[in-house]
Chains A and B, each alone.
Chain A
Amino acid sequence: MEFNPACPVPISQYPHVLLAHGGGGKLMHQLIGKMFLEAFRNPLLEPQHDAAVMELPGKKIAFTTDSHVVRPLFFPGGDIGSMAVHGTVNDLAMAGARPLYLSSAFIIEEGLPMEMLWKIICSMRDAAKKCGVQIVTGDTKVVDKGKGDSLFINTAGVGVIEHEQKIAPQNVQPDDAILVSGDLGRHGMAIMAVREGLEFESKIESDSAPVHEVVLDLLKAGIEIHCLRDLTRGGLASALNEIAEVAGMKIAVEEKSIPVREDVHAACEMLGLDPLHVANEGRFIAFVAAKDSERALEILRRHEVSANAALIGRVVKKSAPLVTLKSAIGVQRILDMASGEQLPRIC
């Protein structure tokens, strides 16, 4: 891990987090004051009240929460801190909201190196700044050594809805175009590669990134969006099946049009995994009115985070929930959710 001298760890007397840092006494106040408050400083956090008090523009708000658990804490293309910000920002974006405020709750396992914690806090600070959101309230708990996996972060988020569109699975219509915002499978394979010590010729980096700006652009351009869903755990296959289920629709996608990077595809083939089941942290699907699909694709492709966006299929009709995939050799089959965790094959 690189040490950045411009950003030294504010607490120098303890190289590791102690139980006492969560005990409510001086050490905890020091941790909160010198690390969290210092990094996340903003007028709403400043009063250090039990709850942040804020005014929200408009009438409709979106509110979400997400807990982040990832091993290792730092992975190619990101870390738990930036991921905790992106994850909640993206959840708000999927409701068509402009993300404004986040909370951050840290559950720290005793013994976590202080320098590592600081690096994660700084990463959260930078990610929040980039996303244009403020971290306005938080909580810290320290648990006994062995009772946590180094660090868990929960972030809740509030955003405002500044349009009249109904964005929800129930609103999906027959003939809707289904767009995916970029290539699939990078986050899951990046994590698996480091976790299992697998070496591939090229380094696969996580796609962890905020997607709210491109969503807000789609809305601003008046694209008729019926549903949005981020493609985290379970990947594209789970997202499509969840939406088919709630909407009561048959959905058809085409394998050939789904972007998967060559190295990710190769790694998946080697392990017997399906990239359509692998997790992403900066990808989403959009169900848009067929008439708007070309224009939506153009807007998506203007943003770096969705430069490889593609039209992957459409909603066929109202029916018993079903997702079909036209395979590479042109035959239709079911695209099912993975059951449980994906397990690599024997041979």
Chain B
Amino acid sequence: MKFLDEYRDAGLAEQFARELHRVTTRPWKIMEVCGGQTHAIVKFGIDELLPKEITLIHGPGCPVCVTPLEMIDKALEIAARPGVIFTSFGDMLRVPGSTTDLLSVKAKGGDVRMIYSPLDAVKLAELNPAKEIVFFGVGFETTAPATAMAVYQAAQKKFANFSMLISHVLVPPAIEALMSSPNCRVQGFLAAGHVCTVMGFEEYFPLAAKYRVPIVVTGFEPLDILQGVLMTVKQLESSRAEVENQYSRSVCREGNLPAQELIKKIFKVVPRKWRGIGEIPQSGLGLNDEYAAFDAEKKFGVAESRVEESAECLSGLVLQGQIKPHECPAFGVKCTPEHPLGAPMVSGEGACAAYYRYRRQN
């Protein structure tokens, strides 16, 4: 396929791999931040082409995985209410809360619908004036502009029957949290290409300088990832800690300015709890006061709950890159995609699910 097969060429992949073997002299631990990259690494077997000195650590960049249990419980509670049409992206539907998941709420009669764009939820609000339409706004900076646009349109059209349960998160504060942790093993980062398509990469310069860590904005195809790793290793081998852009066919330094404007207009930066990691200051997006009427948490008055994660699930350590998925004792035994104990086993982008799907014999 044009613009895709070119980035999956076995011959070129081998060339990158050879170059990596040539330049690598010491062990390096590199974290790919984004779940999409984790998925591609495991699906194509990219890590198996790398020199044994290089360890890829799978970061917390799967929005489904880091959405806290409490938020999923709130979604379940709202979705079960009569008169509500609860809308969500597909892969949130199977994520277990503390008791059940959205697909089960649907099976019991809740009106839960999978949509492809938050704007579809706005359309539903228009078509169903007697119903309350709620959208589960989840994701990183990549999906934030679409969520913001939906709120903006609903506000323009004065839809009183539209609201959002928002659990948007931001990448740079998560990198900061990881780097400032005393257990941190990460020496270089592949930053998420799609996040940077929206946000640019200006905000990574202070991080690279403060923690003396190379950050390479990287795409999602096998050759992108191999080249991103190569650029990171070259920096590490020559003791540089810079921000570089591998994904220049999509990302420019300042990013998508109209999209950023829209995000700023609709959202404010708030503290946010990350599943498996805990609360990270200034790491999430919440609605600006001007748009508070679209906040489903307030509208439906769902109670704050404190729920405990399964003690057997070590997804927190996986999400922080401290263990590999198959090093968790529950992996593949008590925890499978059919009976997940934690979110990384549910989402296609979750590190545990990716390992289970593509290489559980290891």
CA distance A101 to B52 in the complex (A): 61
Task: Given A329-B10, A343-B91, A344-B114, answer yes or no on A334-B1 (Cβ-Cβ < 8 Å).
Answer: no
| A346 pairs with B89, CB closer than 8 A | yes
B201 CB within 8 Å of chain A: no
CA distance A36 to B148 in the complex (A): 54
- CB < 8 Å neighbour of B348 from A265, A269, A272, A333: A272
Taking CB atoms, residues of chain B closer than 8 Å to A331 are 44-46, 48-49
| B49 pairs with A329, CB closer than 8 A | yes
Taking CB atoms, residues of chain B closer than 8 Å to A327 are 43-45
A330 CB within 8 Å of chain B: yes
| A329 pairs with B8, CB closer than 8 A | yes
CA distance A327 to B143 in the complex (A): 29
B93 CB within 8 Å of chain A: yes
CA distance A227 to B14 in the complex (A): 36
Interface residue ranges of A239-266 to B (CB < 8 Å) = 262, 265-266
| B64 pairs with A346, CB closer than 8 A | yes
The closest CB in chain A to the CB of B48 belongs to A331
- Taking chain A's interface residues, is the majority helix, strand, or loop, or is none over half, making it mixed? loop
The total of Cβ contacts below 8 Å across the A-B interface reads 95
The closest CB in chain B to the CB of A269 belongs to B4
| A330 pairs with B10, CB closer than 8 A | yes
Q: Which of B157-165, B276-284, B354-362 contacts A (4 or more CB under 8 A)?
A: B354-362
| A344 pairs with B45, CB closer than 8 A | no
Taking CB atoms, residues of chain B closer than 8 Å to A149 are none
Taking CB atoms, residues of chain A closer than 8 Å to B14 are 330
- CB < 8 Å neighbour of A346 from B94, B143, B337, B361: B143
How many B residues face the partner with a CB closer than 8 A?
Answer: 46
| A346 pairs with B63, CB closer than 8 A | yes
Interface residue ranges of A300-347 to B (CB < 8 Å) = 322, 327-334, 336, 339-340, 343-347
CA distance A328 to B46 in the complex (A): 11
Task: Given A334-B357, A340-B94, A345-B90, answer yes or no on A329-B46 (Cβ-Cβ < 8 Å).
Answer: yes
CA distance A325 to B147 in the complex (A): 37
Taking CB atoms, residues of chain A closer than 8 Å to B1 are 262, 265-266, 269
Task: Given A269-B4, A331-B44, answer yes or no on A347-B143 (Cβ-Cβ < 8 Å).
Answer: yes
Give the one of B14, B46, B347, B358 with max A CB within 10 A: B358
CA distance A107 to B45 in the complex (A): 47
What 10 A-B pairs come out closest when comparing CB atoms? A331-B45, A343-B90, A344-B90, A328-B8, A329-B13, A339-B337, A330-B10, A333-B358, A346-B89, A347-B142
Chain A residues within CB distance 8 Å of chain B: 196, 198, 262, 265-266, 269, 271-272, 322, 327-334, 336, 339-340, 343-347
Can you list 15 contacts pairing A with B, beta carbon distance less than 8 Å?
A262-B2, A266-B4, A269-B1, A327-B43, A327-B44, A329-B10, A329-B45, A331-B44, A331-B49, A336-B356, A340-B94, A343-B348, A345-B348, A346-B139, A347-B143
